[in-house]
Structure 1
Amino acid sequence: MMDNYYYHQLASCPSYRDSLKVLEVDIQFANMLAASIPRDKGGACLRMELGYNDMAYILSFLLQWINFPCSCLLQTCLSFCYVIVHKVSIVLPDGRPKLTSLGRKASIREFYDVILPSLKRLRTNPLELDVSEGDIQAFGTIPKKKIEKRTNNSDVDMEREDECGICLEPCTKMVLPNCCHAMCINCYHDWNMRSVSCPFCRGSLKRVNSGDLWVLPCMGDVVDQKTVSKEDKKRFYNFINKLPKDIPDAVFLVYNDYLI
């Protein structure tokens, strides 16, 4: 179902032409978001434009002639319009973009439900920067050996953070809700049966049940933002590739003439 915000925004337009202007503004905004997303290895990015069916011009003329509000025939009006998604490579010397393939055709509903929200989410995610070793040395940053040493030290610190403070075993910690001290589930059951108190602060555990414990995830259980951004980007491009191709109407006209 189309987003209610955009649905009411288009429905509030006084005419069919005004609704198309709103669509064009949203498409330009989507192009700006697509241009800010890190490009693939070929340097290509996505570019969208508004496409019209032949019936769209006839319907636009009829709506202007009878002066009928667009809100009553919103779904009918938008069904004759679609968004063409092109894969654009580096801009040519004359300023025109170079299209690498046929465009993909997306409906207005797919644009507002999938494409625009995906571009917003990819835009808010941190950019993936590919920094080479030469660039690091050129900026006079820390040498590679020191970086590896710090990385090894940080890995040791992360392993220590995942250890239980009582048995020193790597585990998923349970946090007590009253004092916020963390330990493994085995140590919790042991101290709960032994003294019904927290081993760190001796706080009472009489009213604390197993279902009241908080789970503190380990570092390996947390997915980093870069991986999430990469998966979202892959899922978005797979959706674009599955859209139907925008075949020019001239091909169908020639085929119809051949049948006649």
Structure 2
Amino acid sequence: MPVSAASLMEFPIPDVRQTVNARDAILYALSTGYGAEPVDGAHLRRLVERDLIVTPTLANVVADPGPLMEEAGVDWQQLVHAEQRLTIHRPIPLGTPLRSHSRVISVVDRGPDKGMFATSERTIVAEGDETPIASVIQTNACRGDGGCGSAGKPLEPLHPVPDRSADAVFTIKVPADAALLYRLNGDLNPLHANPAYAAGAGFPRPILHGLCTFGYASYAIARSVVAEGLVDVGFIAARFTAVVFPGDALEFDIWREKSDIHFRARVPARNATVLDYGHARLA
């Protein structure tokens, strides 16, 4: 039965509980670029247990409700990540029981054969304390579900990057096994591991998780906006504009305008912009 905007808005999403440990935090950091300089002290603070600093974009995978769009009846094979917005209210604590509450906040129908956009919001708190730790807003492009109608209030659009040369350019190569490593953070969508499934979705081979690219963006900012060491973001958002394949070399253009950081990511070998409309603020 085709999905409707009303059924998505009303779809009950159970709360999810998770206690994050050091192994979770280290695995996430290794899968999003922080292992690039394995003998540097600032990087090691995010990679070894003693005095561990939790990478902020880890929040994207904490207490995640899983393939809720598939469970709601969306054509899962035709779904791709369109946009992500993450606000860190306070660092993710280790060894503390956490809980997330999720809800669908808008559906934007583009019409039959054109797909629709579904946006969900996830709030992460500590058990027994409703003060938010992180707020995660995710928009999915559901390419096989157009004609479902619209509901809710769409998000304010992200702003384009500045029309001038970037203040910094950061390049990093994504390892060939990046998707196989990143999936261990909890996203087991076969689009990122199964060649036959990826082909059925229209891709020549498995693609990298959008949130893995997003994590690399946070790392690029952390590495580029200070002369030494690493800094953490308190807010980061971007639009996914093209797929990344494991093994691609990513080039990040970064602009600094007072407290705002703007960015985009490109794969020069394919002349593809893969992240755009990027916006971040430091913690």
TM-score tier (shorter): under 0.3
Q: Report which of the two structures shows the higher radius of gyration computed on alpha carbons.
A: 1
TM-score w.r.t. length of structure 1: 0.21
Whose strand proportion is higher, 1 or 2?
Answer: 2
TM-score w.r.t. length of structure 2: 0.20
Whose helix proportion is higher, 1 or 2?
Answer: 1
